[in-house]
Structure 1
Amino acid sequence: MQKGYKYRIYPNEEQIVMLSKTFGCARFVYNYYLDLQAENYASGKKHLSKIDCNNDCNRTLKEENPWLREVDKFAITNAIYHLDNAYQKLFHHTGGKPKHKKKHKGYDSYTTNSPTVQIVRGCIKLPKLGKVIARLHRQIPANGKIKSATVSRMPSGKYYCSLLVETPDAQPKPKSYVYSARVLGLDYCSPDFYVDNFNCSPASQHWYRRMQKKLKREQKKQSRMYEAAKASGRKLSECQNFHKQKRKVAKIQEKIARQRNNFTNQLSAAIAKQYDAVVVEDIDLRGMAGSLNLGKATNDNGFGMFRQQLAYKLADRGKYLIKADRFFPSSKTCSCCGAVHKITKDLSVREWRCPTCGAHHLRDQNAAQNLKNEGIRILRTQGVAVL
């Protein structure tokens, strides 16, 4: 089983220079072979494999550009392999066309799988860098083996190292039975994040909206600095105040992202510990954000990220995450008699009474209860006993 452990690192000035060189070399090689593959396609030549590109890099490109030998060789190789993975996704229609990596985008990273990567006394030892001070807030299992390390630089200037650790422990087998009382249905709710079948909700804090005024003010300052530099004919690389302001904006954006990630991680961990199965809607959040003009609220909630975290945390415990079909009429169905009505087609209807059995329903709680019932049905079709 493989897991990732992400730590913040604090490189010194010499290590920062070497990291900048490595980021640049990995970006250069990626863009070089992206252009080469595009030229081969335009001229009708054969698409080069990752092995061919790597051999060409070692025999030709590094001879023409000796500075490529100054950095970690595994970072160069992995840049070529990442480009090949992007093309494989394109060929199998699971991703878009690979794009060039930009120098001034703000985010840089490279991956190394050197056997010399290890944790030594509060530091992470990396090739060409040596020991880099790290905040090791999580312990790697004693029987774990480091397979790769990804070093990244955020737009705010912070550095992180993600270690991929492999352990001989097998993935827990899914449970053969679950208790119906420990099956939870979650209905997505934009204002409150979700409502469960007990009519409880975690009340999302809307982090972006809370920081929106401050972020807008700092972004305006950055925009004015950009326009001033453009009007004076100066290069942005020469404008230190602009880059300081850019990092200030990036810090605010990263704080919003960390708050959202912390909320979803704690919530998903608590649910995964308490319940054997969780049922959610397979809703198209991207489509909802665009077509319904709910982009700010939907993206600020981070419900899609919450589902991903819930999926792997439940799987690590041998539990289930069930996704009901997006066309399942959870809001229109009476959870008491099962009759489907169009009363709730209007989103403004928050409470309704079933014309068939006369039961009174709260819209979101009724939908969550229907999702729970649908999840129990799906579990039984998969051969899982529901007690």
Structure 2
Amino acid sequence: MLSKRAYNFNAGPAALPLKVLERVQAEFVDFQGTGMSIMEMSHRGAVYESVHNEAQERLLSLLGNPKGYKVLFLQGGASTQFAMLPLNFLSEGQVGSYVMTGSWSDKAYKEAKLLGKAHIAASSADEKYMRLPNVESLDLPEHTAYVHMTSNETIEGTQFKQFPDTGSVPLIVDMSSDIFCKPFDVTQFGLIYAGAQKNLGPSGVTVVVAREELLASSPSNIPTMLRYSTYEKNNSLYNTPPSFAIYMVNEVLKWIQEEGGLEGIERVNQQKAALLYDRIDSSEGFYRGCVDSRDRSIMNVTFRLANEDLEKQFIKESEQAGFIGLKGHRSVGGLRASIYNAVPLENCQALAEFMDSFKQRNR
């Protein structure tokens, strides 16, 4: 057992709950008396299938067991979803409408343009994505097949607090970096997807939750492994799934339940975010938040100092003090603390204290 764990603020792969890691460690070699690790088992066997199905059921239960929705476990991360969405849903003469909020929504839009017609329904690019656009009156052309949004931009540090009513047009949302950080009504979405490596588990599995009728309608002229219907018809077991990652997702979902469900998780997340944003806002300009205060993310806290030299010094000294992952994304610079579900409140308290001491030494 480590005597001291790092203060992990990595943007992804990211922190996992210590309780989960300890449980997994205890049954890593011998899973439930089988004499095997779960990584050694056939995905066709009853033991693994029970874990697989339990993970799906547990995920839906945290969403209130919505009728008509199904959970898929895929591979390839959100980046593969950027292509699967237009391949499956953009038929001839239809348009995918995209809300542009930052680096990840931009990648999704560019991928769609390679495969069909893509339209920008709203954007805050003219403000360098430092705020979110108004989505109450989206510019949707006729024959819009779906509206795509990114709920939380990890690089810029923005997060939607609510989503528009798109009527009969399915709303599809990339929730990779904030899924299950708070309660939400999944029935307002046609499909949501999330790479697991920020809030759900380790890298290697991508979770999709969608209306069953959407999943069943994939065209037959696209590759088998890129059809949602392939996974829907075969319970995500058409080929060998990322079994260990799915097992880990199930363990993280158990932990969320133990922490009071999504309501309990949100309470702690709000405390963590408030602690850091308070340090930024009360620093008399020493620290500067990057985005409009109304659109701040409770998952990725982005901020700047007076100049890049001081930011480099902050990163160097923070690493020496045991803080990991505070350097901002290379595309935007600055500083970023990713405070996903598994990051303990105590880590944020320690970071706030470090920010205070660094300010005292350098103002």
* Structure in which a larger fraction of residues adopt helix: 1
Q: Find the structure with the greater CA-based Rg.
A: 1
Q: Is this a same-fold pair by TM over 0.5?
A: no
Report TM bin, short chain. Answer: under 0.3
Higher relative CO (CA 8 A, sep ≥ 6), structure 1 or 2?
A: 2
Give TM-score, length-normalised by structure 1: 0.23
Give TM-score, length-normalised by structure 2: 0.24
